[in-house]
Structure 1
Amino acid sequence: MAEPKTKPTDASVPDFLDAAQPARRVEEGHRLATIMREETGVEPVMWGPSMVGFGSFHYVSASRTSTAEGDWPKVAFSPRKRALTLYGLKDQPEGAALLPELGGYTEGAGCVYVKRLEQVDEDVLRRLIRIAWSREDDPAR
């Protein structure tokens, strides 16, 4: 079984956020980190070189040919140039059902993209974070 590439590091979250581009991502990244810290009650950790994560859960994912296993943040984000990339918000059925109320966003396979933090409903975002945070280890994922 291959070693997961994305895992917690000792890198500085504030330094990473301060280097975000374009400039508005710096402010949005710090704001999002504050919101997630308030809703989870834990400090952020860098996962790999570009993901700010909160907490973790253990997963096991099996296909016909292989099994993958590892840890992943319960909720995370990356302040990318084109959009804020949010992880974990739609993984639970309750979160997926609430997502349409978020405001301006698009979806990827396992993430939600937000072009501007001001375009989303912060109360809905906070509810989505709490739902993601409630996730248990999921060995049958």
Structure 2
Amino acid sequence: MTAPTGQSVEEFLAAVPSETRRSDARRLAEIMREITGAEPVMWGPSIVGFGSYHYRYDSGREGDSALAGFSPRKQHLVVYLAGGFEERHASTLARLGPYKAGKGCLYLKNLDDVDPAALRELIDRSVRVHRGVDRAGS
């Protein structure tokens, strides 16, 4: 992810062209607010993030990123999770419903199509990993 900006989250969400995607984004923002206890902040031009954590890779590269975040894109609602979530949470993903996954990204077409409890669990576990409460390998 990138750095926080001063852009208004509400203005960004209001400008999402698809009514369904806009509604899903607002619902997802509320879920992430509840899980993180943080208010939404724009990270770069298109990512809504909640809270922050510091990371450091084995390579020595380090920085800050959002604890939880998403981007309402044209094709999908992209949810950013801790890397490796597919391997660690296969049983939760099996309950989730239709999705696509990339490295640290969960792509959803419509929130109404997924199990809300499974989605909350994935976001919560990812936040716990970023906070250092949960080991990435467990």
Specify the TM-score bucket, using the shorter chain as the normaliser: 0.7 to 0.9
User: Structure 1 residues 43-52 or 22-31, which shifts more?
Assistant: 22-31
For structure 1, the residue ranges without an aligned partner over 5 or more in a row are none
Indicate yes or no: 2:77 matched with 1:84.
Answer: yes
Q: Give the CA deviation at 1:12.
A: 0.8
Gaps of 5+ in 2: none
Query: Structure 1 residue 44: deviation in Å?
Result: 0.9
Runs of 4+ in 1 over 3 A off after TM superposition: 89-97
How many angstroms apart in 2 are the aligned matches of 1:90 and 1:127? 15
Q: What is the TM-score with the length of structure 2 in the denominator?
A: 0.83
Aligned counterparts of 1:45 and 1:18: Cα–Cα separation in 2: 15
Size of the alignment, in residue pairs?
132
Q: Deviations over 1:4-60 (max 9, x none)?
A: x71111111111111112221111111110111122221111111100111122112
Relative to structure 1, the CA distance from residue 9 to residue 25 in structure 2 (aligned partners, 3 Å threshold; closer, same or farther) is same
2:36 aligned residue = 40
Instruction: After TM superposition, give the deviation of residue 96 of structure 1 in Å.
Output: 5.3
1:133 aligns with one of 116, 127, 132: 127
**Structure with the larger helix share:** 2
- Secondary structure of the 1:6 match is coil
| Residue of structure 2 in register with 1:109 after alignment | 103
CA 1:76–1:125 in 2, change beyond 3 Å: closer, same or farther?
same
Retained in 2: the 8 A contact 1:91–1:132? no
2:61 alignment partner, SS class = strand
Amino acid at match of 1:80: R
Question: Residue type of the partner of 1:53?
Answer: G
Higher RCO, 1 vs 2 (CA within 8 Å, ≥6 residues apart): 1
Structure 1 residues 125 and 90: CA distance shift in structure 2, 3 A: farther
User: Is the 1:95–1:132 contact (alpha carbons within 8 Å) kept by the matching residues of 2?
Assistant: no
Q: One-letter code of the match for 2:51?
A: G
**Counterpart residue number, 1:99:** 93
